[in-house]
């Protein structure tokens, strides 16, 4: 019993595993075969819900980026958001900390309607990392203090250690990273530094919008390990990815989006699974 999807012609849930090959085309085809699904809920403890979307509509230039989107996301582990380009994945992520505002429906964070919350309160609890790293001019320490101006060197070194930025240069550990020019970091280093900056605000959840798309394979794998460890430490993540193999490696469950609607939310099937059944 993996996830429940309520179709338009039945009040009884259909349950099936979500499986991936390494082929993005196969994933897109599988999504297309499920395009009649209207919404999804996760099996399990309904009290442990991180985000809940209730018939959410987002419009831009008279086009619907999200069209009656409904889903509930658990408050633990890593949830990958997958689907074809233009499906509404990044829009969904931006809704979670009010970078987007719906024209219809409701978005709840830990049971609170985010439309009625202070955006600054929300964004301190819902941290976000974007597709491309955004280091500010200055040292790594300067960047981390943007999130926490009175942070001690020890606190900043701890944040860097959590994203595996240690052991560089002649001096010991994270102290040398604090002194580095943030704009001179490699793509993978800069992305992890931005993640460390986000962690300085002590968020309750991370939103990750394709954070590995602009880095090499080694850096991508390092970021995956970091996010998995953060989730194990109690900071869940909602991760947009175009890579089915990455979703299989890094995620505990997958939220499938197509044409602005949720097709299903459920655990990632193992490599041995032949595919979804109904």
Which pTM was predicted? 0.79
**Cα–Cα distance measured from residue 58 to residue 20, given in angstroms and rounded to the nearest whole number:** 29
Return the sign of the alpha-carbon dihedral for residues 25, 16, 265, 227.
negative
- State the first-to-last Cα distance of the chain, in angstroms, to the nearest integer: 11
Q: What is the pLDDT of residues 39-50, one digit of tens each?
A: 344 444 445 899
**Mean pLDDT (whole number) for 85-105:** 94
Q: What is the DSSP string of the chain?
A: ---EEE-TT-SSPEE--B---S-HHHHHHHHHHTTT--EEE-SS-TTSEEEEEEEEEEEETTEEEEEEEEEEEESSSEEEEE-STTSSHHHHHHHTTTSS--SEEEEEETTEEGGGS-HHHHHHHEEEE-SS--PPSSBHHHHHHHH-TT--HHHHHHHHHHTT----SSS-HHHHHHTSBGGGS-HHHHHHHHHHHHHTT--SEEEEESTTTTS-HHHHHHHHHHHHHHHHTT--EEEE-S-HHHHHHH-SEEEEEETTEEEEEEEBPPTT------
Confidence of residue 9 (pLDDT cuts 50, 70, 90): very low
Residue 215 scores a pLDDT above 90:
no
- Quote the mean pLDDT of the chain: 81
Distance between alpha carbon 189 and the CA centroid of its chain, in Å? 19
Confidence of residue 170 (pLDDT cuts 50, 70, 90): very low
Residue 183 DSSP one-character state: G
CATH of region 4-135+185-267, choose from 3.30.70.270, 2.60.40.10, 3.40.50.300, 3.30.420.40: 3.40.50.300
Nearest to 182, CA basis, from 128, 134, 223, 130: 134
Share of the chain above pLDDT 90, in %: 63
| Residue extents of the structural domains in the chain | 4-135+185-267, 136-184
Residue 148 scores a pLDDT above 70:
yes
Predicted pLDDT of residue 5? 31
Count the residues in the chain: 278
Confidence of residue 7 (pLDDT cuts 50, 70, 90): very low
């Amino acid at each position: 019993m993996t996830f429940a999807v309520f179709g338009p012609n039945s009040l009884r849930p259909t349950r099936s595993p979500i499986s991936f090959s390494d082929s993005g085309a196969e994933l897109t085809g599988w999504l297309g075969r499920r395009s009649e699904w209207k919404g999804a809920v996760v099996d399990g403890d309904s009290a442990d819900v991180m985000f809940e979307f209730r018939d959410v509509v987002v419009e831009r230039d008279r086009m619907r980026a999200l069209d009656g989107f409904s889903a509930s996301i658990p408050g633990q582990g890593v949830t990958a958001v997958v689907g074809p380009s233009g499906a509404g994945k990044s829009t969904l992520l931006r809704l979670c900390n009010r970078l987007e505002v719906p024209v219809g429906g409701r978005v709840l964070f830990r049971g609170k309607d985010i439309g009625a919350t202070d955006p600054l309160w929300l964004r301190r609890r819902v941290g976000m990392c974007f597709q491309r790293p955004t280091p500010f001019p200055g040292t790594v320490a300067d960047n981390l203090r943007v999130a926490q101006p009175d942070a001690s060197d020890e606190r900043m070194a701890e944040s860097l250690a959590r994203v595996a930025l240690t052991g560089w240069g002649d001096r010991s550990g994270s102290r040398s990273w604090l002194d580095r020019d943030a704009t001179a970091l490699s793509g993978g280093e800069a992305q992890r530094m931005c993640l460390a900056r986000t962690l300085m605000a002590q968020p309750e959840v991370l939103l990750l919008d394709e954070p590995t798309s602009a880095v090499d394979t080694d850096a991508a794998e390092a970021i995956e390990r970091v996010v998995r460890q953060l989730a194990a430490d109690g900071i869940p993540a909602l991760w947009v990815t175009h890579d089915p193999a990455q979703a299989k490696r890094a995620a505990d469950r997958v939220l499938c989006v197509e044409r602005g609607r949720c097709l299903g939310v459920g655990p990632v099937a193992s490599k041995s699974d032949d595919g979804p059944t109904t």
